[in-house]
Chains A and B, each alone.
Chain A
Amino acid sequence: MTVSAASVAGALAERLGLERVVIDPSALAAATIDGRIPRWIVRPASIEHVAAVLAIAWDENLTVVPRGAGTALLLGAPPSRVDVVLDLAGLDRVLEDNPDDLTVSVEAGVTAGALAERLAGRRQWLPVDPPGWRRRTLGGMTATAAAGPLRARYGTLRDLLLGVRFVQADGVVTWGGARVVKSVTGYDIPKLMVGSLGTLGVLCELTLRLQPMPDAEQTWLATFASVAAAQAFAARVVDSPLQPTRLELLNEAALRVCQVPSAPAGVAVAIGSAHPAVREQGEQIAVIASSERARVAAVGDDVWTRYDAALTPAEGEVVLRIGSLPSRLADTVSVVERALPASERAALITGCAALGTLRVAITGADPDTARRLVEDVRGFLAEFDGSVVIESAPTAVRASLDPWGPIDAASRGLMSAIKQEFDSRGVLNPGRFVGGL
């Protein structure tokens, strides 16, 4: 039996304080997710608050959409119901900072920008840089497995999350992993949480591995007559002892918005190392580039700031996250371009050439165009189990096709059994994740 809205608000207020429960209609309307207006916005200040909110939601069969900076709410399918928006921005404390161990424990609402500022003085960083990363919360980036160009060298949050404290759907506070850089005690729960979109638990505390910042980083831009030539160059770099921190493919439109020399395709290679090593690797890059008939020039580090600004998702944009292969990048780009009408050729296509990921951003695509594009690319990638996920798109687009794409029945069965085990009442982000979970 569901109790009245007023009494739920009362229960939330009793546990969290009146000021942490928002029921003002205009505030609620402003927090609309895919056309669904939440009944309450709750702003916890501690993990105990989160636990209390989830316990109430569980008992009352309410659904909860966790929210960090609110920049990734258009990832995945529209939620089937939104009762409580759990705004985690208030969980913004650094809990334990161990500079000499290169680890830090933070609350999930700490933004990547705030952490970067704290770490810069000691030349350490969390090298995870999805577009718009400064504003994003670390919890949100973890839940959505967000990644950017630096993954070429440092991997993703999958490789950097050491420990995690989360609250299960029924309000039970749970810890997985460790606070040290190496541990195999028990199951690797942090791996299960990265990219799970808060569907198994609300992430509240993260213990992260940091990396030393290189003494120097220099970026070179090689430009090419075709994406295929760019891919060939990237393959040569990968098949060498060079250790780029970023190896990013950019199509013509992406080069243009980054305000670098125009060409049909480019590869931005960044080397981060000791000064003499940066110089020496730069010389080797020039040799490879000239043998691949590319033009190559050093560019200022601000190219990455421009890149970040240009790729930060804008209102109405359709953004795809594509998992292809390094050897099939040019083919994948061709499929994308063929699927777009001439008027949409301004698609920004970028990606990590070392790993075979692509990001496609289109402005103003109608649902039909978007659907055709996604279906064509999925059809091409099926041969080698690649994937297309809609990272951001207007509701109409995400409602017209599966934003995650098909997954095989056996994997789907396991994932759904896990979800059922830990959230049988469908409290957490129902309907948004893979296979409608």
Chain B
Amino acid sequence: MPLTSAVLNELRTILDSDGLVLTPEGRMVYEADMHTFYKGAPDAVALPRTAEQVQAVVRLCRREGLPVVPRGSGTGLIGGAMAPRGGVMVSVNRMDAVLEVDLPNRCAVVQPGLINLSLTKAVGDRGYFFAPDPSSQMVSSIGGNVATNAGGPHCLKYGVTTNHVLGLEIVTGTGDLVRLGGRAPDRPGYDLTGAVVGSEGTFGLVTAITVRLLHAPEAVKTALATFASITEASEAVSEIIAAGIVPAALEMLDAVIIRAINASLGKIYPDAADAVLLIELDGPRAEVEAQAERVAAICRRRGAVSLSVAADETERALLWKGRKEAAGAVGRLTSSYLLQDAVVPRSKLPQIMRELEAIAARHRVTIANVFHAGDGNLHPLICYDDRNAEELERAKHANEDLLTACIALGGSVTGEHGVGLDKAKNLPLQYGDADLNFMFRLRRVFDPAGIMNPDKLLPSHPACGEGFRPKRPVLPAGAWI
């Protein structure tokens, strides 16, 4: 339903003269995130520069009952920053300032539109970095990272986004501007900062973020181990973790991925390998050396065919280039793919890899694997030809089987990408009615009118609706009359 001229006029008053996108071509740019399967253009795109503008837009939408869809760089993978019901999209790209760097207290205050890597660039020369490093970090916004609680390869050692967010300023679905947490630790009260991170814009719009900065490690060592099978490589991963070693990153690439990367980026990894492990250790020099010896011994024991260490920063950067551009390289092999983000316990990696091979065979699809092996976060890319409807169906079935297998092993539907529109339907795999209902009610506290990013994160399910009552214990009737 198009916006009324009264609403449009009000939006024009709130925003700068160039702060509103209304043309069909202009709005089309915002119709999807990187999960282009899901499309929905907003009726208007607001490009605010201040928290006050954000607040005014939300208040207007609240009054008019219009959906508000937050968007950062639009690099999400879940059908999150798109508008299935239209409404007003609030794109925070113009709010991209580093507001303050406070190195004595190892933190910074930034606006949500700031590009992830820009923050590390701003403090890198003084020996600090911002730890969350999604593969999209060159283009994704910190606001988007907060919305999805983004991870990345180095989250194995350093933790995901939420472990690095100290405070937030947020305009909730009621239109209130609230400051949560802050740079001083241990703020009393409920940890609302923790609740908002990962809420995918369904609680409100984040307008400023206080993040923790870390001191850069003294030494970094990046090694590449090749294996004759992904199962052997998985066994090596499980043993490294069980041995109590926490590498900075522990990434797995299988044969399909290796060949795709080598074909598109030049020969980065050994062509003959059926699996490679990219292992990065960092920390004090002597600790890195000691750990490197133990990791090498485990890899050899688990049948590593070769083991090499990056000699310098150039070699290291090349090893990472292959990993970070892996998903793009797969685009050369297949016209389309479904990207999974499920998690299994780390000790179950060999088992899930065997199941995955069986699933691929059963549904006659190619599954390429590139993933954060150290924390059991899989990223299988299920390849299909988008001109072939039957093949898409098989890919979807493989996808569902894989998800079910991960959950059966005690895993999770999504490790770092988020839920969005794409995985909302899968939440009942992981949560019961009472659990979903609790989440629904929490959302309603932040957004009583249900305007914030509707249809995302929670499924349409009886437990996520008004009037649903979870089961209470049955008490003995008349026991105390």
Contacts and interface: CB of A to CB of B under 8 A. Distances in A.
Contact of A326 (B106, B148, B243, B244): B106
Contacts of A277: 283-287, 290
B191 A239 contact: no
B375 A421 contact: no
Contact of A55 (B194, B289, B472): B472
Contacts of B372: 182
A112 interface: no
A188 B347 contact: no
A407 B177 contact: no
Interface string A393-420: 0000000000011011011111101100
Interface in A348-407: 355-357, 381, 384-387, 389, 404-405, 407
A124 B439 CA distance: 33
Given A274-B286, A385-B184, A191 B191 contact: yes
Contact of A181 (B176, B189, B346): B346
A152 to B, nearest CB: 11
Nearest to A273: B287
Contacts, number: 307
B192 A414 contact: yes
A99 B238 CA distance: 11
B245 A168 contact: no
A187 B441 CA distance: 11
Given A280-B284, A389-B188, A410-B177, A184 B148 contact: yes
Nearest to A186: B439
A183 B159 CA distance: 11
A195 interface: yes
Interface size class of A (residues with CB under 8 A): 35 or more
Interface residues of B, number: 103
B198 A102 contact: no
B346 A239 contact: no
A57 to B, nearest CB: 11
Contacts of B445: 414, 417-418, 421
A223 B377 CA distance: 45
Nearest to A240: B215
A128 B414 CA distance: 28
Nearest to A231: B104
Nearest to B107: A325
Contact of A159 (B159, B344, B457): B159
B158 to A, nearest CB: 11
B163 interface: yes
B115 interface: no
Interface centre among B190, B243, B458 (most CB of A within 10 A): B190
Nearest to A48: B473
B263 interface: no
Nearest to A242: B284
A228 to B, nearest CB: 14
Interface string B172-200: 10001111101111111111111101110
Contact of B284 (A123, A194, A281): A281
A334 interface: no
A321 interface: yes
A185 B457 CA distance: 8
B149 A188 contact: yes
A50 B289 CA distance: 50
B345 A405 contact: no
Interface in B137-164: 148-149, 151, 155, 159-160, 162-163
Given A100-B242, A185-B412, A192-B195, A243 B435 contact: no
A3 B480 contact: yes
Nearest to B176: A410
Contacts of B179: 408, 410-411
Nearest to B151: A182
A12 B194 CA distance: 36
B347 A389 contact: no
B176 A323 contact: no
B183 A276 contact: no
A370 to B, nearest CB: 17
B413 interface: yes
Interface in A37-83: 48, 51-52, 55-56, 59
A186 B179 CA distance: 23
Given A182-B376, A187-B439, A239-B127, A101 B347 contact: yes
A227 to B, nearest CB: 16
Contacts of B426: 185
B122 to A, nearest CB: 17
B189 A404 contact: yes
A15 B445 CA distance: 34
B198 A243 contact: no
A256 interface: no
A56 B441 contact: no
Nearest to A386: B184
B389 interface: no
Contacts of A28: none
Given A182-B343, A418-B442, A387 B470 contact: no
Contacts of B414: 183-185
B435 A174 contact: yes
B471 interface: yes
Nearest to B424: A186
A172 interface: yes
Given A191-B194, A213-B244, A178 B186 contact: no
Contacts of B244: 102, 123-124, 212-213
Given A55-B473, A175-B431, A239-B127, A356 B185 contact: yes
Interface string A1-14: 00110011011001
A241 B214 CA distance: 10
Interface string B420-442: 00010011001110111011011
Contact of B105 (A4, A192, A195, A356): A356
Given A99-B242, A175-B432, A274-B290, A14 B476 contact: yes
Interface centre among A174, A356, A384, A405 (most CB of B within 10 A): A174
B183 A384 contact: yes
Contact of A174 (B291, B415, B438): B438
Contact of A59 (B188, B193, B194, B475): B475
A11 B480 contact: yes
Given A389-B188, A434-B188, A435-B189, A184 B176 contact: no
Contact of B188 (A3, A4, A183, A407): A407
Interface in A223-282: 235, 238-243, 273-277, 279-281
Contact of A182 (B185, B416, B436): B416
Contacts of A304: none
Given A155-B163, A179-B410, A274-B290, 11 more contacts: A99-B242, A100-B238, A158-B194, A159-B159, A172-B470, A174-B438, A188-B198, A191-B195, A273-B284, A277-B284, A410-B176
25 contacts: A7-B479, A101-B346, A102-B244, A103-B345, A159-B159, A168-B438, A179-B411, A180-B376, A182-B343, A184-B198, A184-B419, A185-B414, A191-B193, A196-B190, A238-B215, A241-B284, A276-B289, A277-B287, A281-B284, A327-B102, A389-B188, A411-B189, A414-B172, A414-B178, A418-B442
Interface of A: 3-4, 7-8, 10-11, 14-15, 48, 51-52, 55-56, 59, 98-103, 123-124, 145, 155, 158-159, 168, 170-176, 178-189, 191-192, 194-196, 200, 211-213, 215, 235, 238-243, 273-277, 279-281, 321, 323-327, 355-357, 381, 384-387, 389, 404-405, 407-408, 410-415, 417-418, 421-422, 433-435
The 10 A-B pairs at the shortest CB distance, nearest first, are namely A191-B194, A212-B244, A7-B480, A241-B218, A274-B290, A183-B412, A277-B287, A277-B286, A100-B347, A323-B186
